[in-house]
Amino acid sequence: MCKQFDHSGIEPRIVEKSKTLITRTVKNNVKTETFTITLPPPNVTGSLHLGHAFTSIIQDMLLRYKRQHGYATLGQPGLDHAGIATQIVVANQLQEQGINWQELERDEFINRVWTWKEQSGGTILYQLVRLGMSIDLDRVRFTMDEEASNAVLYAFTTLYKDGLIYRAKKIVNWDPILKTAISDIEVSNRIEQGKMWYIKYPIGQCNFITIATTRPETLFGDQALAVHPDDERYKHLIGTKARIPLTDRTIPVIADDFCSQEKGSGVFKVTPAHDFADFEIGQRHNLHCLSVMDESGHMNDEVPKEFQGLPVLKAREKLVEALQEKGLVERTEEITHSIPYNDRSGAIIEPMVTNQWFLDTKTLADAAIKAVESGRIKFIPEQWTNTYFEWLRNIQPWCLSRQILWGHQIPVWHTENGKMFCAMTEEDAKQQAKKYFCVDDKSIPKLTRDPDVLDTWFSSALWPFVTLGWPKSREEMRKYYPTDVLVTGFDIIFFWVARMVMFGLYFTKDVPFKTVYINPLVRDEHGRKMSKSKGNVIDPLRLMNKYGTDALRLTLASLAVPGRDVNIGESHVEIGRNFITKIWNASKFLEMKKCLFDRDFNAHNNNLEKPLNKWIVRKLIEFKRTAQSALDESRFDLYALSVHKFLRDVFCDTYIEAIKLCDDDETQNTACAVFAEYIKVAHPVIPFVTEYLWEKITNGTEQMLLISPWIDNCDAHELKPDLVDHYISVAGEVRSLKGMIGCKEKLDLLIKAGENDEFVKSNVHWIQQLARVNSVDIVETFPSKGIRFFVAGRELFIKYPHEISKSLFDKKLNTLAQDVSRLTEKIANESYKKAKPEDWQSDVDLLEVKKVELQKMEAISWNY
RNA sequence: GGUCGCAUAGCUCAGCGGUAGAGCACUACGUUGACAUCGUAGGGGUCACAGGUUCAAUCCCUGUUGCGACCACCA
pLDDT in tens, A645-703: 999 999 999 999 999 888 888 899 899 999 999 999 999 999 999 999 999 898 888 88
User: HSE-up of A752 (CA within 13 Å, CB side)?
Assistant: 12
> Cα–Cα distances in Å, from A89 out to A45, A95, A143, A483?
7, 10, 18, 33
| pLDDT tens-digit readout, A308-333 | 888 988 889 888 888 888 888 888 88
> In the 336-395 stretch of chain A, whose C-beta falls under 7 Å of nucleic acid strand B?
337-338, 340, 383, 386-387, 390-391, 394
The pTM of the full predicted model, rounded to 2 decimals, is: 0.91
Rounded to whole angstroms, the distance from the CA of residue A822 to the C1' of nucleotide B51 is 27
Q: What residue is closest to B55 (Cα–C1')?
A: A831
Q: Is the CB of A585 under 7 A from strand B?
A: yes
Q: What is the ipTM of this complex?
A: 0.95
Q: Beta carbon of A584 within 7 Å of strand B?
A: no
Distances (CA, A) of A65 to A72, A201, A407, A628: 12, 71, 37, 9
Q: How confident is the model at residue A30 (pLDDT cuts 50, 70, 90)?
A: low
Distance A824 CA to B52 C1' (A): 28
Task: Please tell me the distance from the alpha carbon of residue A649 to that of residue A656, in angstroms, as a whole number.
Answer: 10
- pLDDT-above-90 percentage for chain A: 35
Whether nucleic acid strand B comes within 7 Å of the CB of A739, the answer is yes
Whether the CB of A736 is less than 7 Å away from nucleic strand B comes out as yes
What average pLDDT does the segment A623-639 reach?
91
Residue A864 has pLDDT above 50, yes or no: no
Residues 260-289 of A near strand B (Cβ < 7 Å)?
Answer: 260, 263-269, 275-277
How far, in Å, CA of A199 to CA of A188, rounded?
29
Q: Please write the tens of the pLDDT for every residue from A339-373.
A: 898 888 888 899 999 999 999 998 899 999 999 99
What is the CA A420 to C1' B27 distance in angstroms?
81
Mean pLDDT of A171-195: 88
Q: Which bases of strand B have any atom within 7 Å of the beta carbon of a protein residue?
A: 3-6, 11-15, 18-19, 23-24, 28-30, 33-42, 54-56, 68-75
pLDDT in tens, A430-471: 999 889 888 888 888 889 999 999 999 999 999 999 999 999
**Which range (A497-506, A634-643, A809-818) has the least confidence?**
A809-818
Dist CA A38 CA A503 (whole Å):
15
Task: Report residue A126's pLDDT band, with 50, 70 and 90 as the boundaries.
Answer: confident
Work out the pLDDT band at A741, boundaries 50, 70, 90: confident
Q: What is the residue type of A677?
A: E
Using a 7 Å CB cutoff, list residues 785-824 of A near strand B: 819, 822
**If you measure CA to C1', which residue is closest to nucleotide B22?**
A641
* Whole-number average pLDDT of chain A: 87
- At residue A605 the predicted structure's pLDDT band, cuts being 50, 70 and 90, is low
Residue nearest to nucleotide B23 (CA to C1'): A575
Q: Can you spell out the DSSP letters for A77-118?
A: -EEB--HHHHHHHHHHHHHHTT--GGGS-HHHHHHHHHHHHH
Which nt sits closest to A567, CA to C1'?
A: B12
A212-250 residues labelled b (16+ CB within 10 A) or e (exposed): bbebbbbbbbbbbbbbbeebeebeebbeebbbbbbeeee
User: For the segment A86-103, what is each residue's pLDDT rounded down to a tens digit?
Assistant: 888 888 888 888 888 888
C1’ B45 / CA A674, Å: 38
Amino acid A290 reads: L
Q: Is the CB of A483 under 7 A from strand B?
A: no
Q: What are the two backbone dihedrals, phi and then psi, of residue A343, each rounded to the nearest 5 degrees?
A: -60, -35
